[in-house]
Structure formats: C-alpha cells, structure tokens
Amino acid sequence: MLDGWMRGIIDPALGRMGKSLAAQGVGADAVTLAGLGLGLVAAAIIAVGGPGWPAALPLLASRVADGLDGAVARARGKTDFGGYLDIVCDFVFYAAIPMAFVLRDPGVNAVAGAFLLASFYVNGTTFLGFAVLAEKRGMETRGRGEKSLYFTAGLLEGTETIGFFLILCLVPWAFAPLAWAFGALCFVTAGARVWLAVRTFR
C-alpha cells in the first residue's frame, strides 16, 4: 500500500548512490547478495535470543541494499538473472526473519510463526502468479518503481513488512500476537490479488 509513496521519497537518493557505485565497478548482483547477507545477520542476532533491537540496523541496511541494487542495475545495465536473483534473495530474507523468531522461542512462537510463513507463502504465490501472466500479456507498471517483474499493489507490501519486522525487533516478546495479526492481513492481501486476477485475466 505504501510502496509507491515510499519509492517517490527514496528513489532519487538511491539513484545517485547507484550511479556512484556503478562508476566504481560495483555490480548489482553483489549489492543484492550483500543485502541478503545483512538480512541473515539480522536473523542470526534475533535467533540467538538477545535483545532484538541490535538486529534493526543490519535489517534496515539490508532493505536499503535491496533498493540500491536496482539503481546500480539501471546504471550498469539490467539483466534477467539480476532480476531473478533479487526476487530469490527477497524471499529468503522474508522467510529468515520469522524463522529467527521461531528459533528464538519455539514454545511461544512456533505456531504463530508457521501461520505467518504460510501467509507469506500464499501471498507470494498470488504475487508471482500475477506477474507471470502480466508478462505473458505484455502488461507494464512503474507504480512501484522500475522492476524486473510486474508488481501488483496490495494492502501489505514491502514497506509495511519492513516496518513490521522493525517493530518486532523492538518488541520481540510480542512476536506471537503481532504475527497472527500481520499474517491475517497478508491473507487479505492475497485474496485481493486473486480477485484482481479474476477481473484481469478471465
């Protein structure tokens, strides 16, 4: 819901940083992998059971890198593999953070974490399925920035999910109730995408 608004705020700065990194010979795939690495560091910090807030910095840096890789790609030249790697690393990151909270306290967080991961799985399926059919029909959108895939709008998008993860880092003891609530909203988002597909592709 907020991705289009957020892109308008961060894209100019990311574009400048991307051109600078590209001029120094840094590749977009390297930035993508660095972002995943930072995300996994955040997940590891959460999983070991210490205070959650130290994970917020690498988590946020990971998502900055996730936006920056596209800017580098536009400066150096986009590739299909780069787009593929980006979406794979995104899904690994979005799975790793909930899993880290499950590992942190399985007795309290396991069921809620499973529900949250299931909602991500279903929501991701509706997103990717729509993108495949949109590509087949030659549909394009720039509402969420210049992307390798067709991005459908939704109640919960990347901005909301990152904000949710940051809140979890600050109040890790509240993971279970927050995961139930956020997961339910993810299922609502998935249902809305299915309805959009019905109206678009039938």
- Tens digits of pLDDT across the chain (202 residues): 555 555 666 667 787 888 889 889 889 999 999 999 999 999 999 999 887 789 999 999 999 998 899 899 988 888 889 989 999 999 999 999 999 999 999 999 999 999 999 999 999 999 888 888 887 877 776 554 555 555 666 666 778 899 999 999 999 999 999 999 999 999 999 998 899 889 888 8
- Reading the block at residue 153, the tokens are 């709008």
- Alpha carbon dihedral 154, 56, 38, 17, in 10-degree steps, equals 70
Using N-to-C axis directions, what is the helix angle for 158-170 and 3-23, rounded to 10°? Answer: 90
Decide if 18 contacts 68 (C-beta within 8 A). yes
Residue position matching structure tokens 């067709």: 150
CATH node for 3-201: 1.20.120.1760
Rounded to whole angstroms, the Cα distance separating 104 from 138 reads: 44
Query: Is the full-model pTM beyond 0.95?
Result: no
